[in-house]
Amino acid sequence: MREFYPLLILGAIIGVLSIVFVIAYLSIKDRKEAIGFERYMKDSEITKRLLAYAKPHIKSFIIVLLVMLFSIAYDIVLPLLVGNIEEMIKNDFPMARLFSMVAVYGAILIVSLICSYIQAIVLQKTGQRIISKIREDLFTHIESLSHAQLTEHPVGKLVTRVTNDTNAISMMFTNIIVTLVKNCFVIIGVLAAMLCLNYLLTLMVLCFVPFIVLFTVIFRKFSRKAYRKVKDGTTDINTFLSENLSGMKIIQIFNREAHKKAEFDKKNDSLGKAKRSQIFVFGIFRPLVYMLYISSVLCLLYLGGRGYIKDVEFLGQSINSGVLVSFYLYISKFFNPIQSLAEQFNWLQSAFASAEKIFTIFDITPDVVDEPDAIELESVEGNIEFRDVWFSYVPDEWVLRGVSFKVKAKETVAFVGSTGSGKTTILSLICRNYDIQKGQILIDGIDIKKIKISSLRKHFGQMLQDVFLFSGTVRSNILLRSEGISDDEVMEACRYVNADKFISKLADGLDEEVRERGNNFSAGQRQLLSFARTIIHKPAVMILDEATANIDTETELLIQDSLEKMMNIGTMLIVAHRLSTIQHADNIIVLSHGQIVEEGNHNELLKAKGRYHGLYMMQYEKAARNVSEGA
């Protein structure tokens, strides 16, 4: 048997050196990825950021690790016990001693099962707390993004990040990390036990390590790419579904079902190819590791069996049947964790790919943030001033050009002009949905950048053309989860804006169900509900952006009556194409190409016979023509 010594020792040396080489290789490879692909993160960075969420739960993980030691002891002691039992049976040991060994085996098994149960319970609870925290932080961060940033990222993409990707990370905290640690300890413990039994046979096992490491390196390279493609494909298809399911009515109206089906099939096929690529990579890796396991068993049977049959000593170490049985079980214990590591590595790549996507969202710095010295605004009178304001959504493509005007408290000011003249932009800037590039916007003489965003917006009430209602009830949509407001106050607000007339006809009144986006209510009813929820929060400044567009004449009369009442509450800013709805405004500002071209009340602007006069006459003639045609 001595002819095998140099080969075994050389294989063991190569095995140890290969581990050192791969560790160095992986660290260099990470740096290359970070430089070559800026949108990709290094594994070390992802791990550091994920562990930051695990840090507050370190006590739970310590408990799990302590409990896990008993399970590891079971994996290491079991082959020795079985080997000893084999020797006892072979050499006719007393039955009492045999029973005692079996009893010890059974006791260790029961303790191991109890420990595994405790480990699973603690891990699941801890993992769910961590994932819940990640979801909360991610949703809060998305809420802090500006309107421009939210427009850049499709809803389906953000939904995927908050749901699918956090679920992928969940497996990492509830199973993967601890299992990886456990498997590493098992491998080390098994190697130590094997060295104690027969170090020459152990060197034989180490000869297979270089191949394991080589396959792992290759698997790591291709699996990460495969998982990235799967995550990108999932995001793409979720974004497509989010957009097209919301717009299904338009698709049906224009008879584009077949075209959209073809688009979906293309994205679905792309995701399917990415999934198959991922399965192919994993499907090759695990059989290769299993092949190494079978090869090591064959070598053990050959070398160990030959030494046992011929009664040959390995450097002074004899081989008996108990050693052979123990070594056979230890090889299984050695390769099973490696095969398990392959599966865990598969999940780990999925978790890292998902974490990479999530942290990409976290790394988006909000465009609109509070200044360090921003103040709380306890009350607002409603004085508004624009001082030489310049603004653009795209650099150097100015939407507003040196706009300056003043609005006094409790005054009603209307903005008119052609599409794209900057009317809606002005209203968005007042609430600081965007930040201006030049100039100043002041509320009661205070620059809005010096006011905390949440404090600023709570004094504004916005009523937009496209009213968004949340799933829930009429009451919840009016209150928007505000507490301390009674039903009497809710109905008083509804009466004030004439919404009580249709609410009283509903079967469940304020408890009437509101389906997705309020699609079980008419446009006029949704608008009146938006008026009610604005009034009930008693804003100092009210903003109406095309609030009377696309509604029937009867509802428009109700809204007109509501507007006249609301003008007495506070400062009101109105954007309207229907000039008949703003004739009673205190001041009308006419915009064109981002600049103010006229300013005054309705009568003053008609007398001036400028742009406003032209717009008014155009609408008047159109209305007169419609009446004559109807007659």
9 burial type by CB count under 10 A (0-12 exposed, 13-18 middle, 19+ buried):
middle
Six-digit token string for 72:
């590891």
pLDDT at 315: 44
pLDDT at 631: 46
Mean pLDDT by 10 residues, the chain (631 residues): 50 52 44 40 83 88 83 75 66 66 77 82 87 91 86 81 83 77 81 78 76 73 76 83 80 83 90 84 75 77 62 53 74 75 70 86 89 88 94 90 93 89 91 92 93 89 81 87 80 86 88 84 84 85 74 66 71 83 87 92 90 83 55 46
3-state helix, strand, coil in the chain (%, to 5): 70, 10, 20
Query: What SS3 class is residue 596?
Result: strand
CB 559 within 8 A of CB 551: yes
Q: What is the C-alpha separation between 457 and 464, in angstroms, rounded? A: 15
Q: What is the C-alpha separation between 597 and 612, in angstroms, rounded? A: 9
Q: What is the C-alpha separation between 172 and 38, in angstroms, rounded? A: 25
> What are the b/e assignments for 397-406, b being 16+ CB within 10 Å?
ebbbbebebe
Six-digit token string for 46:
């992802």
The residues near 406 (Cβ < 8 Å, ≥ 6 apart) are 383, 384, 385, 386
Six-digit token string for 548:
């009377």
The bridge status of strand 587-592 relative to strand 595-600 is antiparallel
Report the half-sphere exposure of 593 (CA within 13 A, side-chain side).
2
Report the half-sphere exposure of 577 (CA within 13 A, side-chain side).
12
Q: What is the C-alpha separation between 8 and 566, in angstroms, rounded? A: 91
Q: Which of 310, 87, 330, 78 is nearest to 204 (CA)?
A: 330
pLDDT at 210: 76
Q: Which of 175, 112, 173, 121 is nearest to 343 (CA)?
A: 175
Query: What SS3 class is residue 96?
Result: helix
> What are the b/e assignments for 363-373, b being 16+ CB within 10 Å?
eeeeebebeee
**Helical (H) or strand (E) element with 442:** strand 438-443
Q: What is the C-alpha separation between 16 and 21, in angstroms, rounded? A: 9
Beta strands in 490-555 (DSSP E): 513-514, 541-545
Residue 162 DSSP code: I
Q: What is the C-alpha separation between 28 and 22, in angstroms, rounded? A: 10
Q: Which of 533, 535, 543, 597 is nearest to 572 (CA)?
A: 543
35 burial type by CB count under 10 A (0-12 exposed, 13-18 middle, 19+ buried):
exposed
| Sign (positive or negative) of CA dihedral 501, 506, 510, 513 | negative
pLDDT at 100: 75
**Residue ranges of domains in the chain, CATH in brackets:** 2-362 (1.20.1560.10), 381-459+577-625 (3.40.50.300)
Residue 341 DSSP code: H
Q: What angle do CA 247, 252, 258 make, to 5 degrees?
A: 100
CB 308 within 8 A of CB 320: yes
Query: What SS3 class is residue 387?
Result: strand
Residue 446 DSSP code: E
The residues near 142 (Cβ < 8 Å, ≥ 6 apart) are 150, 158, 162, 361
Please state the φ and ψ torsions of residue 534, each to the nearest 5 degrees: -75, -45
Residues β-bridged to residue 442: 385, 447
The bridge status of strand 446-447 relative to strand 438-443 is antiparallel
C-alpha to C-alpha distances, 466 to 159, 291, 453, 460, 551, nearest whole angstrom:
22, 63, 23, 17, 11
C-alpha to C-alpha distances, 436 to 111, 446, 575, nearest whole angstrom:
67, 15, 20
Q: What is the C-alpha separation between 472 and 320, in angstroms, rounded? A: 74
Query: At 289, which amino acid appears?
Result: V
Six-digit token string for 254:
């224009």
How many residues are there in the chain? 631
Mind spelling out the 3-state secondary structure of 476-503? HHHHCCCCCCCHHHHHHHHHHCCCHHHH
